[in-house]
Structure 1
Amino acid sequence: MTMQASSPTATVWRGFARPLLSPDVRTTAILLAPSILLIAVVIAYPMTQGLLYSFTNGSLLKPGKFVGFQNYAKLLSEPTFWHSLRFSLLFAVANIAGCYTLGLGLALLLQRDFPLRGLFRVLLLLPWIVPSLVAIVSWRWLMNDEHALFNQIITAFGGDPVFFLSNSNWAIVMVILIKIWRSFPFMLLSLLAALQTIDRTLYEAAEIDGATRWQSFWHVTMPAIRGISVVLCLLMTIWTVNDFDTPWLLAQGGPANATENLVVLAYRYTFARNDVGMGATVSFVTLGMLLVIFAVILRLQREKRG
């Protein structure tokens, strides 16, 4: 009795399936299964539901009907969306620039030996450690009205009270400053760790070649921390664009929606206007813009390395 030769297709399939059925692959799949299941439940399912909501006109009490891209078209025609987008971009750029400048400057300072350096490191981390609710409400108490501490100090020096949270320009400035104050410790800690990994002999070689401190900083320090700087700026972009606590707890997005970013706008649509579809639409438009920004930055970074 002769054995029938297997077909080429079956041979290729067995060659492809054999590695997948190996003990190592099975063990890896078993170990990863809980994490994949958790990600699917915590992230994938809510995001899928949110995406579906963005194509409906539902509210908090009823699911609504499918309306296609009507919510997206309506959102792009809303002046409040473009105002929130402009403030979100200003908020993110100002916070990243302020946090990076302050964090890098303090990191360079903390590299030096001076008395009580350890104590200063701990104190500079306090804004990041304190819960956001406590920190922002405390700042609000310091500037809330003409009898607040800041205005008492101003009037003690002969000035007029400043209504920080009633004036649109002042409210924007204070939201940005408080966000920088809350965020710079993370940038400081990360950059300090990156600076400590730089080989000291590079600075010695630059000094022998006659480089000034500025030249050593620009040609030795900055190239060495460029990679971590890009990652930190991307993380800070995510956290700033998605920051609800600072503009809401400080000024509820006001006055006159001056400090209303995209996250606050999504909150208003969902809970104040009872329009879940538009709230989900704002969230996914924000997600799409973040993905585009990240793709452009990472592409430019790869081209620069190349």
Structure 2
Amino acid sequence: MATPRPSSRLRLYWLTDPSDRGLAVMLLTPLVLLVGLVVVYPVARLFRTSLYNHALTSGMPPEFVGFENFLLIAEDPVFWRVLGSTAIITAVTVPGALLMGLAMALMANLPFRRKWPVRLSLLIPWALPLAFAGLIFAWFFHSEYGVVNDLLRRFGLQPVIWFNSPFWSMAAVCLTIIWKTSSFMALILLAGLQTIPRSLYEAADVDGAGRWRQFREITLPLLRPAIVVALIFRTITALQTFDIPYTMTQGGPGDATATLAMYIHENTISFLDLGYGSALAVVMFLLSMLMTAAYLRMIRARG
């Protein structure tokens, strides 16, 4: 019988010993190339563009200016206002979506005879396009024929002109975002609830622990990893909020509900200032990474 060639023996060894480092490299190389193509290259190109004065309306070629765009951001009052609006949306909608999503997940995890209609209902807000949800709630909060003001009149309360006030406009936007994103949180938390063994609750029942104590000492500690994952995704998407405030208020009144993503869109699409818009996008990317690092550090500290 012929002796296998070295290359054939190497391929056979990779197939028979999955722990071999060479097999790991072979399997991970396509993934690394894909991530580099889809993530690393666009981010690197974004950083590079942020170092140039590249305004298409000027008709001039891109000019390297270093960190001048970032210095302009620090002196831009509009940037600080939209950053404040983005921070408000993040601070209000992330905890709101978490609490509402947790309640929905607990309800969907109850022992119904037919669970699929309840769990299917969780998908409806999540499946709606963001812009469509914004248009629906813009009609809900309309000052003349909106559903919300109609309900206020029926209860004898004074209707609110929602989109003429910075406070009420922000409230309407935040309520819409919470409704839209809570189902996403609920799906992640429901998956986490499914991993908790029922035997723990049965043992707690035997020991005389009530529902609240079971929730506090069993459900919440074992659900913490799913909660952190949900918070990471929800916080990043909150920092990048665009569709709902854009379709509901277009950032108004004034720029009271304008977000950082909307300001990036305005500079890059409306003003065609690719250098300044890229610098703003870099700031948003760094904020997202900082928030993610904070969550991961919190996990390690508690671990």
User: TM-score, normalization: structure 2?
Assistant: 0.85
Q: Deviations over 1:264-303 (max 9, x none)?
A: 1111222233322111111111111221222222122112
Q: Which runs of 5+ in 1 are unaligned?
A: 1-21
Amino acid at match of 2:202: E
Shift of 1:251: 0.9
Q: Deviations over 1:121-165 (max 9, x none)?
A: 222321111222222212212323423343344345554432212
Tell me, in whole angstroms, the C-alpha distance in 2 between the residues paired with 1:263 and 1:156. Answer: 38
Shift of 1:205: 2.5
Mean alpha-carbon deviation: is it higher for 295-304 or for 65-74?
295-304
Q: Which residue of structure 1 aligns with residue 51 of structure 2?
A: 55
Q: Which residue of structure 2 aligns with residue 40 of structure 1?
A: 36
Mean alpha-carbon deviation: is it higher for 79-88 or for 258-267?
79-88
The 1:157–1:224 alpha-carbon spacing in structure 2 relative to 1, beyond 3 Å, is closer
Contact 1:146 1:162 in 2 (8 A): no
Matches for 1:132-281 after TM superposition, within 5 Å: 132-281=130-279
Tell me, in whole angstroms, the C-alpha distance in 1 between the residues paired with 2:50 and 2:199. Answer: 56
Amino acid at match of 1:88: T
Shift of 1:263: 0.8
Q: Deviations over 1:181-200 (max 9, x none)?
A: 11111111221121122112
Tell me, in whole angstroms, the C-alpha distance in 1 between the residues paired with 2:39 and 2:61. Answer: 21
Mean alpha-carbon deviation: is it higher for 96-105 or for 108-117?
108-117
Over alpha carbons, which structure has the higher Rg? 1
Tell me, in whole angstroms, the C-alpha distance in 1 between the residues paired with 2:250 and 2:200. Answer: 50
Match for residue 295 of structure 2 among 272, 297, 305: 297
Q: Percentage identity across aligned positions?
A: 33
Matches for 1:67-82 after TM superposition, within 5 Å: 67-82=65-80
Contact 1:58 1:65 in 2 (8 A): yes
Shift of 1:120: 2.7
Contact 2:142 2:149 in 1 (8 A): no
Tell me, in whole angstroms, the C-alpha distance in 1 between the residues paired with 2:195 and 2:124. Answer: 24
Q: Which residue of structure 2 aligns with residue 15 of structure 1?
A: none
Amino acid at match of 1:248: Y
Q: Which residue of structure 2 aligns with residue 7 of structure 1?
A: none
Q: Secondary structure at the match of 2:277?
A: helix
Amino acid at match of 1:53: T
Shift of 1:31: 5.4
Amino acid at match of 2:171: V
Tell me, in whole angstroms, the C-alpha distance in 1 between the residues paired with 2:126 and 2:51. Answer: 38
Tell me, in whole angstroms, the C-alpha distance in 2 between the residues paired with 1:170 and 1:283. Answer: 28
Shift of 1:35: 4.1
Q: CA RMSD in A?
A: 2.5
Matches for 1:89-168 after TM superposition, within 5 Å: 89-114=87-112, 117-168=115-166
User: TM-score, normalization: structure 1?
Assistant: 0.84
Tell me, in whole angstroms, the C-alpha distance in 2 between the residues paired with 1:58 and 1:171. Answer: 34
Q: Which residue of structure 2 aligns with residue 4 of structure 1?
A: none
Amino acid at match of 1:128: W
Q: Secondary structure at the match of 1:255?
A: coil
Contact 2:240 2:261 in 1 (8 A): yes
Contact 1:91 1:240 in 2 (8 A): yes
Tell me, in whole angstroms, the C-alpha distance in 2 between the residues paired with 1:29 and 1:196. Answer: 34
Amino acid at match of 1:134: F
Mean alpha-carbon deviation: is it higher for 239-248 or for 290-299?
290-299
Q: Deviations over 1:47-97 (max 9, x none)?
A: 222111111111135542111111111111222222222222221222221
Amino acid at match of 2:247: L
Mean alpha-carbon deviation: is it higher for 53-62 or for 123-132?
53-62
Tell me, in whole angstroms, the C-alpha distance in 2 between the residues paired with 1:93 and 1:30. Answer: 43
Tell me, in whole angstroms, the C-alpha distance in 1 between the residues paired with 2:24 and 2:205. Answer: 51
Q: Which residue of structure 2 aligns with residue 17 of structure 1?
A: none
Mean alpha-carbon deviation: is it higher for 269-278 or for 101-110?
269-278
Contact 2:235 2:291 in 1 (8 A): no
Q: Secondary structure at the match of 1:165?
A: helix
Q: Which residue of structure 2 aligns with residue 284 of structure 1?
A: 282
